[in-house]
Amino acid sequence: MNRQDFLLHGVSLAKKTALEIGPLASPIVTREMGDVIYVDYADAAFLRHRYEHDPNVDVAKIVDIDAIWGEDTLQEAIGTNRKVDYVIACHVIEHVPDLITWLNEIEHVLTSNGEVRLAIPDKRYTFDYLRSETRLADVVTANLVRARIPQSREIIDFAVNKTQMDTDAAWRGEVDVTRLPRDYTFEDAVRLAQDAITHGTYHDVHCWVFTPYSFAKLMGELVEAGLVHFMCADFIDTAYGQLEFFCTLKTSLDKSKCIESWRAMCDTAQRPNPVTNDTFRLKQELLECNASLHKLDAQLRSCQNLVNDYRTSTSWKITAPLRAFIAVWRKLFAR
């Protein structure tokens, strides 16, 4: 599955209402697909101005934002009592200043059977490579201060450790941490953090850092503490050569069921052990071989169907005596 396949798998777009957070210029759900509410921290004009010099963003394709989520709660932003069937957030959760409040506000706008579908960067293969995984104390602290902008600790940790990462080299276990370049100096990091403290400036950084295992562990701890009410309904681990994993969340008041679902994800997720990278590569090659075999099998069945159709055709029946004569002639000639 690619990103869009997983995030939209099993969803009836024509019958559901979607809420996509941070669609920017490449939304997963377009307005042509169905009813969708686009949410971001600023309006489209601000976003176009901000990304006008970013070569990775086509500002002409930045979508119009329907609701601004910042000072207002998500429910207030989209309209009182309005509910959605599923929420999509692609590389968003790592940016939110208060993870616990973010999850709880999403829960409040979901229908009873609603889902949250997330694409999350795996720090082992991104510019967060040098950072430590987010811990329970980190997100609880942000929640206690009701952070609406990234806090100084997260800004400094992000800026000091942000580096250029070769994803393929990371998968091969060939990263030399002593030679990784830094994108910011220590002075830059402190200056950004001071700006946030003094002026309340929103610096868009990765507040939180995850691997599939650490994300599942953290979510389980949040559920156990009674801080969130989500279970893991589906999970796809980071594929070899890729830098993101996927997770579907569903609300549930059954704490035991929720905790068990996150434990199951922990058991399934790849542990951050470079020694096993060859295993992942071989597994991926095996999957590719299986896909090729399935394709060849489908082609073989198609050919067999054509042969069967031909054998039951009128022309095949009419030419039967001729084929019998040729067969006898070949036997005589062979003698």
Residues 6+ apart with CB under 8 A from 10: none
Residue 75: CB atoms within 10 Å: 17
Low-confidence ranges of the chain (pLDDT < 70): 1, 271-292, 294-295, 297-298, 302-303, 305-311, 316-317, 325, 329, 331, 333-335
Model pTM greater than 0.75? yes
Q: DSSP labels for 17-64? A: EEEEES-TTS-SS-TTTSEEEEEESS-HHHHHHHTTT-TT--GGGPPP
pLDDT tens readout for residues 13-55: 888 899 999 999 999 999 999 899 999 989 999 999 999 999 9
Residues found in the chain = 335
Strand bridging mode 230-236 / 35-40: unpaired
CA-based nearest residue to 42, from 55, 60, 24, 19: 24
pLDDT tens readout for residues 195-226: 999 999 989 999 999 999 999 999 999 999 99
Element of type H or E holding 119 = strand 110-121
Q: Residue 9: its pLDDT value, please?
A: 86
Residue 254, burial from CB neighbour count under 10 angstroms (0-12, 13-18, 19+): exposed
Task: Give SS3 for 264.
Answer: helix
Average pLDDT for the chain? 88
Cα 293 to Cα 299: distance, rounded to the nearest angstrom: 10
Q: Residue 281: its pLDDT value, please?
A: 54
Cα 289 to Cα 285: distance, rounded to the nearest angstrom: 6
pLDDT tens readout for residues 72-93: 899 999 998 899 999 999 999 9
Torsional class of 267: left (φ above 0), alpha (ψ -120 to 50), beta (otherwise): alpha
